[in-house]
Structure 1
Amino acid sequence: MEGDIQKRIGPFQASCFYIGEALCGIDINLVQEINKQINYTVVPHSPDYVLGIMNLRGRIVTIIDFGKKLGLGNTKITDDTRIIIVNSKEEQIGLMVDKITDVINGKWEEVSPPPANIKGIQGRYFLGVCKARNKLVALLNVEEALADETKGS
């Protein structure tokens, strides 16, 4: 789901989750798995949103606090906290989120540009918003949000 929404047509599916009070969605094709394991090893001198690394079946996965990365506040670890494992430029990244909800079906023709209140420094991370089950879902551009994590890897 990267790129300009005006260039997109047809149906899409998004995996939805909460970061604080914000209901967000990412292209389901990017999701490798959703993990309940929250154990990770802290990496010294990493950016403040990088929580650490974890070994996932022999692969090293960088874990980031996705709320902090997006400028939406720190993720609070609870029984609902999950890590969404995504592939980004052939590297696995774990996105820690507050709560997983469900998968929505949408059409790009029904996606609106992001409202002003989610623009700003991190505004480039949002593709737009769509309505699903009487709620607004902020569709995220994961590749843009993770560009810093995969440079030079």
Structure 2
Amino acid sequence: MHQDGYEDKIKFFGIGKTQHQSSLSNWTNGNNTSVCMDISPENLVWNDWNANQRDLFILDYQGNLISQQNISSGLPNNLQNTLLNLIEQIPNDQIQGDMNSDGGINVLDIVLISNLIFANEYSEIGDVNTDGILNILDIVILVNTIIGD
């Protein structure tokens, strides 16, 4: 998902407690899975999400909770299909350069593209001139769009 540009559209993550932080590596080693470490003993995030140990949460591109599933016995068999279905639901009418999908081009989009450039990452939406490279030329085009040139 990351290399295809969907990492900012579909989210999957776990919610852990700081008291279990020492066993977090079994979630995160060798992958990009996010885990929110909730501060024990309050566990406000844990409680708000009605989380259980080893629950996997999946959100769609609009931030709606699609799935909460315990993965103690392994990943769900339908995980790949679920993610592919969620990707198909993403509208492709996004404005070129609108990195945060807020419906307009602004300074935040420039900051987000700059971060991708510094991280040597690519985004088709950020590649405003569609040359297959995310670079300063894309930023210049966005600046000109913002100032009206």
Q: Which TM-score bucket, shorter chain as reference? A: under 0.3
Q: Which has the higher strand share?
A: 1
Task: Compare CA radii of gyration and give the structure with the larger one.
Answer: 2
Q: Give the TM-score taking structure 1 as reference length.
A: 0.21
Higher relative contact order (CA 8 A, sep 6+): 1
